[in-house]
């Protein structure tokens, strides 16, 4: 699986363009994983004055489509859609929400695997189905501080954190996959259709009554 850092994707160009390497970059991410392994992801941050100006020039307002393009290229292992953008100029904060398919993969036997792509994570268990992952690292002179909150499905059990051979965060959990059976209303509708066809055939083939 391709590894990634959404922090660098979202905001690295801000620091490069503004030259503010002395200002640490703080960012929050929230993952809400559903019973199908898909997720709603929120990316938010509070920026310094110089970082905010560069963000607005690059991605703010009508240019949010550029953010969607860049994030989709980096997270190309997922299908991303339904982007929503909110910002507060007075507080110099922004919030981008989008949906992603395939964040967790079904491995069989009711076991799921979520590869989160966060290097050298510090895990904190919030409750049975939620974790906080904090990462702090220096990337080319840029100090990055990132808080990642992951909420797993309510019916998930045995949630366990781990790292892969490269030091990236992974999770496994148990959850019975959602049944793909036909909805009841569809079954009833098909039954009425078949009944109508059978009635039409019966009356068509019935011998005519002799007067």
Residue 153 lies in a domain: yes
Residue 181 lies in a domain: no
Look at residue 180 and tell me if it is in a domain: no
Res 149: pLDDT? 96
Please report whether residue 200 resides in a domain: no
Is the pLDDT score of 39 beyond 80? yes
Q: Do the domain assignments include residue 16?
A: yes
For residue 29, list its beta bridge partners: 43, 148
CB 20 within 8 A of CB 51: yes
Domains in the chain, number: 1
pLDDT in tens, 22-37: 567 788 999 999 999 9
Whether 134 is in a domain gets the answer yes
Domain of residue 67, residue span:
6-174
> If you search the block for the tokens 């009841």, which residue do you land on?
184
Q: CB within 8 A of 138, min separation 6: which ones?
A: 144
Distances (CA, A) of 89 to 11, 36, 47: 17, 36, 10
- In a domain, residue 184? The reply is no
Q: Which residues of 10-25 are buried (b: 16+ CB within 10 A; e: fewer)?
A: bbbebbeebebeebeb
Assess whether pLDDT exceeds 90 at residue 47.
no
Query: How many angstroms separate the CA atoms of 36 and 175, rounded?
Result: 10
Tell me the pTM: 0.75
Place of tokens 């292992």: 77
Contact predicate 80/73, CB 8 Å = no
Q: Where residue 21 falls among pLDDT bands split at 50, 70, 90?
A: low
Question: Is pLDDT of 104 > 50?
Answer: yes
pLDDT in tens, 105-116: 999 999 999 998
Whether residue 162 is contained in a domain is answered as yes
Contact 123, 133 (CB under 8 A): yes
Three-class SS of residue 154? coil
For residue range 148-196, list pLDDT tens digits in order: 999 999 999 999 999 999 999 999 999 999 864 445 555 556 666 777 6
């Amino acid at each position: 699986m391709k590894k990634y850092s959404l922090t660098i994707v979202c905001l690295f160009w801000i620091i490069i363009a503004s030259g503010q390497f002395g200002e640490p970059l703080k960012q929050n991410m929230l993952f809400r994983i559903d019973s199908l392994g898909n997720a709603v992801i929120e990316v938010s941050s509070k920026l310094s004055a110089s970082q905010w100006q560069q963000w607005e020039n690059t991605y703010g307002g009508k240019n949010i489509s550029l953010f969607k393009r860049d994030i989709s290229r980096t997270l190309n292992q997922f299908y991303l859609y339904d982007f929503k953008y909110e910002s507060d100029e007075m507080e110099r904060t922004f919030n981008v929400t989008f949906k992603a398919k395939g964040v967790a993969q079904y491995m069989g036997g009711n076991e799921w695997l979520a590869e989160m792509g966060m290097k050298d994570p510090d895990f904190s268990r919030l409750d049975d189905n939620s974790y906080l992952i904090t990462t702090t690292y220096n990337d080319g002179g840029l100090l990055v501080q990132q808080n990642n909150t992951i909420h797993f499905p309510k019916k998930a059990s045995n949630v366990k954190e781990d790292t892969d051979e490269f030091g990236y965060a992974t999770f496994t959990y148990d959850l019975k996959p959602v049944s793909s059976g036909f909805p009841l209303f569809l079954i009833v509708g098909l039954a009425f259709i078949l009944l109508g066809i059978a009635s039409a055939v019966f009356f068509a083939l019935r011998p005519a009554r002799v007067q």
